[in-house]
Amino acid sequence: MNAVTARAVKYHHRQLHKFGGSSLADVKCYQRVANIMANYSQPGDLMVVSAAGTTTNQLIDWLKLSQTDSVLANQVQQAIRRYQQDLIIGLLPDKKAQIVKSAFLAELDRLSTLVDKPIHADIYAEIVGHGEIWSARLMSAVLEEFGLASHWLDARLFLRAEFAAQPQVDETLSRPLLQQLLQQHANKRLVVTGFIAQSKQGKTVLLGRNGSDYSATQVGALAEVNKVTIWSDVAGVYSADPRKVKDACLLPLLRLDEASELARLAAPVLHTRTLQPISVTNIDLQLRCSYQPEQGSTKIERVLASGTGVKIVTSHDDVCLVELIVATQQNFSQIYKDIDLLLKRNQLRPLATGLHPDRKLIQLCYTSEVAASALALLKEMVVVEKLSLRDHFSLVAIVGAGVGKNPLHSHRFYQQLKDQPVEFIWHSEEEISLVAVLRTTQTSHLVQGLHQSLFRAEKRIGLVLFGKGNIGSRWLELFATEQKTISARSDFEFILAGVVDSCRSLLNYEGIDPSRVLAFFDHEATIHQDEALFLWMRDHPFDDLVVLDITASDLLAKSYLNFASYGFHLISANKIPGALASDDYRQIRDAFAKTGRYWLYNATVGAGLPINYTVRDLKESGDNILSISGVFSGTLSWLFLQFDGTVPFNQLVEQAWQQGLTEPDPRIDLSGQDVMHKLIILAREASYEIEPEQVRVESLN
C-alpha cells in the first residue's frame, strides 16, 4: 500500500513533463517552458513544477533566520516578495498579474504568521513547500497567455503520504482522488505542484529535497501516462558532471539498473526515488534540457544488455559517516545484517558501507540531508557500544553494469585513488558500482583524472615508413608480428598508412597490412610527387602522424623542416640530419621543439640501444663527459673479423650488404662517413659544438 503496485495497466497517450527550478529561474525561462509545452505536449498532458530558481532555499533561510535574527529574516522575506512579483509582472498582463499577485501576497502574509511559531515538521513543510504552489499557479497562467487551456493543481488535493525520513506516496488513497480531478479538467494541460503531499490529518508533507522528480514519476504512474520527460538545465545523464569534466559525453541510453544506482548515489541529475514508480510500470522516462530541447537526451531503457563496465563517474562533495562500534560480546555479522535490513525497510540505505570486523566498526555513508534521519533511527532501534556522526567527507564512484567484474576499469579506479585520502572503498552487491569515501571535500581533480583514465578514446596513430630496403623490410616484418601487442600495451592504435621509397608510394588512410606490403608494393604503389605526397600526409585523419625515416637519404633530410611545420612526429634511423652543419641541425631541432613534436633518433647510433638517452641523462644529471669510446662501425667490425684472406674483401662486403649489415650504399661505411655521422651525433648529445669537417676519417674505398 505504501509503494506503487506493479500491475498491468492500460496506458493512454497522455504524457507528463517535469520542470525543475533552474528551468523556471526567470521570465525568459518561464516563456521557454511555455514554448516547450506548446511544441511537445497535447491537451490532457500534465506538468509537474518545482519552485522557481532558488525559492526553496530562500524559504528555508527565512524560516531559520526568523528564529535567530528578525532583521535578516525580514530581508530574506522581502527578497522572496520582490522575486516572485517580478516574475508575475514580467509574464502576465496587468489584470491577470494583479489576480496572481494578490493570491501570492495573501499566502506570504499567512506564512509570516507561521514563522514566529515553534517550528514543527508540519509548519516547516507548509512554509518550505509553498514555492511549488507559486510556480504552478504562475505557470498555468502563462500557458493560458500562450493560448493553451490550462489548470493548476495543488498536489495536496490528491497525493497522500505520512511524515517519515523518506515519505512514500500511498497509491491506494491517491489514485482515485487524482483520477477524479483528471476527469474534471479533461483536455486541459494540468500544472501540478511537485515536492508536496498531504497526510491523513491534512498536514503538508514534503517528499524530500529534490523530491519533485519523485512527485513527477509518482503522479505519472497514478495518472497512467505512457511517458515522463524530466526537463532541467542539462540534456540528460553524462559520463561525468559536465561542470567538472569538459569532455564529458551525453549518454543517449542508460540501463534502468544503472540509472537506479546513479540515483541511489545522490547524483543531482536523478533523485534517489525517481525511478521507483518507473521500475514497476511501463512508463518511458526521458531526461532533456529545457534550454536546448533538441540538444539531445537520455532515455532510461529496460532492456538489460550485458554490462561491459563503467559508464559514469559521479561524486558528492558533502557526505557524512554514521559510525557504529559494536560491543566485543556482540555478533558483528548479525548486528550488521539487522542494521542493513532496518535501513532498507525505512528507505535509508546508505550510499556506501565500510565494514571493519577487526575494529568492530561499521561506517554508513549518507548525504548531509539524510544523515540526521539515519542517525535518529539507529539511536532508537539499535543497541551498540557507540554511535556517532562525522562530517567533511566526499564520495567518488564509478557506475556501470559489470563494473565490479571489469579488471581494467577496477585497476584504473584504484590507480587514481592511490594518492588520495581514502577512508574506505565499497563494492555494490550487484557489481554495478565501486565507491570510494574520502577524507576531503574536494573531488574535481580526482573526477577529471578518473574520467580521463576510464573514458579516454584510444588514439589512432598513423605511421608512414620511408625506406623499404634491408632495414625497412625487417622493420615491416617486426611490426606485422608486434602491431597488436604494441597497441594493447600503449592504448594507442598504430596504423601503417604509407610506405614510400625513392620514387613510389603505397598510401591508404584505412591502413596497410605490413605482412603483405612488400609482396604487393611493385603492383600497387604509384609514382609520387613530393608536394602531393606531403599534402596527403598533412591531410591525415589520425590523432597524430609519425614519420619513420629508415633511409640514408640526404634529400629526405631536407624535408625535416616541412615535417615539423606540418606537425608530424619523426623517428629517424637516418644519420645524415643529425650530423649536418650546426646551423642546419639546430634549425631542425628547434623547429620540432617549437611545434611540440618529437624528433627521436636513438636508432642512429648503437643499433637501437639507448646510447643517446644514456649520454643525455648523464649531462642532465650534471656530469661532464670527457670522452666516448667504442666500436662505432658494426659493419667494419664484422668485415675485419671475417677477413682472413681466403675470401676476397669485396665478396665479404657483398655478404654484409645482403645480410643488412651495411648502409644501403656500403661505400658510406667503407669511406668512414657512417662513423663520422655517429661521432657527431654523440658529441652533440654530450653538448659539444662540433662540425663535420672537424672529424678526420680515412677511407677504405
Q: Are residues 208 and 347 in the same domain?
A: no
**Is 98 a member of any domain?**
no
70's grid cell: 528578525
Residue 5: pLDDT above 50? no
Helix (H) or strand (E) run with residue 488 in it? helix 470-490
The pLDDT tens digits for 212-226 are 899 999 999 999 999
**Range with the poorest average pLDDT among 26-35, 441-450, 482-491, 548-557:** 482-491
**Range with the poorest average pLDDT among 53-62, 636-645, 662-671:** 662-671
Q: Are residues 191 and 43 in the same domain?
A: yes
Q: Are residues 335 and 357 in the same domain?
A: yes
- The secondary structure of 598-609 as a DSSP string is -EE-GGGSSTT-
pLDDT at 340: 95
Residue 1: pLDDT above 80? no
Q: Are residues 166 and 212 in the same domain?
A: yes
**Is 221 a member of any domain?**
yes
pTM, to two decimals: 0.64
CA distances from 379 to 376, 389, 667 (A): 5, 11, 91
**Which of 261-274 are b and which e, b meaning 16 or more Cβ less than 10 Å from the residue's Cβ?**
bbbbbbbebbbbbb
**Is 288 a member of any domain?**
no
Residue 457: pLDDT above 70? no
8 A C-beta contact, residue 625 and residue 619: yes
Whole-angstrom distance, CA of residue 286 vs CA of residue 47? 14
Residue 9: pLDDT above 50? no
91's grid cell: 509574464
More confident residue, 321 or 407: 321
SS3 per-residue string spanning 188-225: CEEEEECCEEECCCCCEEECCCCCHHHHHHHHHHHHCC
Instruction: State the CB neighbour count (10 A cutoff) for residue 637.
Output: 12
Whole-angstrom distance, CA of residue 612 vs CA of residue 686? 9
- The secondary structure of 548-565 as a DSSP string is EE-S--HHHHTTHHHHHH
Question: Cα-flanking dihedrals φ and ψ of residue 457, to 5°?
Answer: -75, 140
**Widest CA span of the chain, in angstroms?**
118
Whether 575 sits among the annotated catalytic residues: the reply is no
pLDDT, average across residues 155-168: 92
Of 533, 541, 461, nearest to 499 by C-alpha is 533
Torsion of CA 615, 621, 626, 628, to 10 degrees: -20
Of 355, 256, 375, 276, nearest to 2 by C-alpha is 276
Q: How big is the CA angle at 95 (ends 93 and 100), to the nearest 5 degrees?
A: 90
Distance of CA 342 to the CA centre of its chain: 35
Whole-angstrom distance, CA of residue 366 vs CA of residue 378? 13
What does DSSP say about strands 544-549 and 569-572: parallel, antiparallel, or unpaired?
parallel
pLDDT, average across residues 470-483: 91
Reduced to 3 states, what is the DSSP secondary structure of residue 642?
helix
pLDDT, average across residues 225-229: 95
Which residues make beta-bridge pairs with 363? 323, 354
Reduced to 3 states, what is the DSSP secondary structure of residue 152?
strand
Confidence of residue 408 (pLDDT cuts 50, 70, 90): confident
**Range with the poorest average pLDDT among 86-95, 110-119, 352-361, 456-465:** 456-465
pLDDT at 430: 85
Whole-angstrom distance, CA of residue 122 vs CA of residue 116? 14
Confidence of residue 687 (pLDDT cuts 50, 70, 90): confident
**Is 400 a member of any domain?**
yes
| Residue for grid cell 592504435 | 493
Of 544, 533, 534, 536, nearest to 463 by C-alpha is 544
Q: Are residues 415 and 499 in the same domain?
A: no
Q: Which domain CATH number covers 157?
A: 3.40.1160.10
Distance of CA 566 to the CA centre of its chain: 32
Give the active site residue among 244, 311, 468, 678: 678
Reduced to 3 states, what is the DSSP secondary structure of residue 243?
coil
Which percentage of the chain shows pLDDT scores above 90?
60
pLDDT at 297: 92
Domain count, the chain: 3
8 A C-beta contact, residue 234 and residue 257: no
Q: State the number of CA atoms in the 13 A half-sphere of 653 facing the CB.
A: 14
Question: Cα-flanking dihedrals φ and ψ of residue 688, to 5°?
Answer: -90, 135
pLDDT, average across residues 57-68: 94
Residue 503: pLDDT above 70? yes
What does DSSP say about strands 15-19 and 253-255: parallel, antiparallel, or unpaired?
unpaired
**Is 156 a member of any domain?**
yes
Q: Which domain CATH number covers 436?
A: 3.30.2130.10
**Is 584 a member of any domain?**
yes
Q: Are residues 487 and 423 in the same domain?
A: no
pLDDT at 443: 92
Confidence of residue 603 (pLDDT cuts 50, 70, 90): confident
Q: Are residues 431 and 480 in the same domain?
A: no
- End-of-domain residue from the set 558, 585, 610: 610
Q: Which domain CATH number covers 581?
A: 3.40.50.720
Confidence of residue 480 (pLDDT cuts 50, 70, 90): very high
Whole-angstrom distance, CA of residue 298 vs CA of residue 295? 11
Q: State the number of CA atoms in the 13 A half-sphere of 7 facing the CB.
A: 11
Q: State the number of CA atoms in the 13 A half-sphere of 3 facing the CB.
A: 13
The top-scoring range by mean pLDDT among 12-26, 138-152, 303-317, 642-656 is 138-152
Whole-angstrom distance, CA of residue 599 vs CA of residue 347? 61
Residue 487: pLDDT above 50? yes
Whole-angstrom distance, CA of residue 501 vs CA of residue 506? 9
pLDDT at 608: 67
**Is 664 a member of any domain?**
no
Q: Are residues 558 and 414 in the same domain?
A: no
By the 10 Å C-beta count (0-12 exposed, 13-18 middle, 19+ buried), 28 is classed as: exposed
pLDDT at 305: 52
The pLDDT tens digits for 281-295 are 999 999 999 999 988
pLDDT at 174: 97
More confident residue, 674 or 508: 508
Residue 6: pLDDT above 50? no
Reduced to 3 states, what is the DSSP secondary structure of residue 498?
strand
Q: Are residues 139 and 25 in the same domain?
A: yes
The pLDDT tens digits for 84-131 are 999 999 999 999 999 999 999 999 999 999 998 888 889 999 999 999
pLDDT at 210: 67
8 A C-beta contact, residue 283 and residue 225: yes
Whole-angstrom distance, CA of residue 350 vs CA of residue 323? 12
Q: Are residues 344 and 416 in the same domain?
A: yes
pLDDT, average across residues 186-210: 93
Single-letter amino acid code for the residue at 466:
F
Single-letter amino acid code for the residue at 4:
V
Mean pLDDT of the chain: 89
pLDDT, average across residues 60-74: 94
Q: Are residues 513 and 544 in the same domain?
A: yes
Domain that holds residue 468: 459-610
Q: State the number of CA atoms in the 13 A half-sphere of 95 facing the CB.
A: 1
Q: Are residues 152 and 197 in the same domain?
A: yes
- End-of-domain residue from the set 233, 260, 291: 233
107's grid cell: 499566502
**Is 199 a member of any domain?**
yes
Of 114, 121, 86, nearest to 100 by C-alpha is 86
8 A C-beta contact, residue 403 and residue 312: no
- End-of-domain residue from the set 542, 576, 610: 610
